[in-house]
Amino acid sequence: MANVVVIGAQWGDEGKGKIVDWLSERADIIVRFQGGHNAGHTLVIGNETYKLALLPSGVVRPGKLSVIGNGVVLDPWHLVSELDALKTRGIDIGAHDLKIAENATLILPLHRELDQLREAAAGEHRIGTTGRGIGPAYEDKAGRRSIRTQDLKNLGTLGPKLDRLLVHHNALRRGLGVAEIGKDTLMRELATIAPKVLPYVENVWSLLDAERRAGKRILFEGAQGALLDVDHGTYPFVTSSNTVAAQAATGSGMGPGAIGYVLGLAKAYTTRVGSGPFPTELTDDVGEQLGQRGQEFGVNTGRKRRCGWFDACLVRQAIKVAGINGIALTKLDVLDGFPEIKVSIGYELDGHRIDNLPAGQNAQARVKPIYECFEGWSQSTKGARKWSELPAQAVKYVRHIEELIECPVTLLSTSPERDDTILVKDPFED
């Protein structure tokens, strides 16, 4: 049996929540391995809709172990609020249901403030972060001054670490013209939240190793998408972590050999939140129609997503750098009724044809998509659970997408509902 990694093959918001929840029925353990609570995911289960950001998508399924790995930056206050919100709806997540890596980096209130202050100071040159402190927390991790979950066990010895952290942050705050933070204030905040988090803290790498040896199926859940990867994405308009499949090993404490199958998610069109290049973006009525039909608003922030046609070049590029074995194509039903559908099959840059998005920021801003046009379909695909229930033209569209991205479509999602999914190949059956 293969352990499966699920990642986004675009700029995030591809529907990972539903697919991970659907796959989690076949898994024993669901692991978040990077990012923070900046990537919301929506689960629709019957008449219930759950909007999560930090907790793994499989957490609403009874009998499954959810794990937050060391590659995640964890806001403990948000964690508690998310757990409390689920509890009010009858889902009580105990320490036997959720484990948090003892070496995960904490997002502190000062990280959130710094994130928002810097974005405001950048003006029109802002990156477009969610302002939740993810970037500053990763910076402290790389700078070897972060506070980690294990530190909550020994607050009495935390003084020197807080001193080191505040030397850095108070210098930044002085430069930004805001008040400095006192060590006592930060210590009180940590002392208040620690008892609520510590019951979940665990030596995760050891736990996962034992479970893998016992033959348990592990599902690794990524956040954001491959095009937001700090190395391989549209830099600098990216997130602060690696979002490709290889990070599942690093961000969970398991070796690369633990990864069996990599499932990439892509919408049947393209969306993006925030700033940055978007070659197929539509600012006309068609783009507006895609956004309305697809309900393209951020789960966490409510920000309106930019919409455009499917970009086969970008998805093909993501497949190669992220190590994707198969694609789950989502939101096919949003394209129902369009008389004509376009797909970008290449770009024009300064009068020359190219087949990948260049790494340079200026060049990315200048590329123009080269489109191939498809005849649309008038019948509904919404809720289809078999290939035979799809219009012939929709099947033709999907099959041609496979050729363009050089990767098979192994799952097809036709609505937000968990069971409205067409399975071509079970990723767990290696």
Q: Which of 13, 21, 75, 311 is catalytic?
A: 13
The answer to whether residues 209 and 203 touch, using CB atoms and an 8 Å cutoff, is: no
Tokens of residue 218, six digits: 């592990």
Helical residues (DSSP H) of 59-182, grouped into ranges = 76-87, 109-122, 134-142, 159-175
What angle, rounded to 10 degrees, do the helices at 312-322 and 392-405 form? 50
Tokens of residue 50, six digits: 């759950």
The answer to whether residues 336 and 380 touch, using CB atoms and an 8 Å cutoff, is: yes
Residue 192 CA, chain-centre distance (Å), reads 29
111 is catalytic: no
d(CA 237, CA 234): 6
Secondary structure (3-state) at 248: helix
Q: Which of 41, 78, 169, 232 is catalytic?
A: 41
CA distance readout (Å), 207 to 24, 62, 67, 396: 18, 19, 10, 45
13 is catalytic: yes
The answer to whether residues 310 and 268 touch, using CB atoms and an 8 Å cutoff, is: yes
Polymer length in residues for the chain? 430
Of residues 224, 195, 238, the one with CA closest to residue 95: 195
Eight-state DSSP code of residue 350: T
CA distance readout (Å), 84 to 80, 162, 194, 195, 199: 6, 28, 16, 15, 15
Q: Do strands 261-267 and 326-330 pair parallel, antiparallel, or not at all (unpaired)? A: parallel
d(CA 399, CA 354): 23
d(CA 351, CA 338): 30
d(CA 134, CA 72): 9
The answer to whether residues 130 and 38 touch, using CB atoms and an 8 Å cutoff, is: yes
Residue 306 CA, chain-centre distance (Å), reads 17
Q: Which residues are catalytic?
A: 13, 41
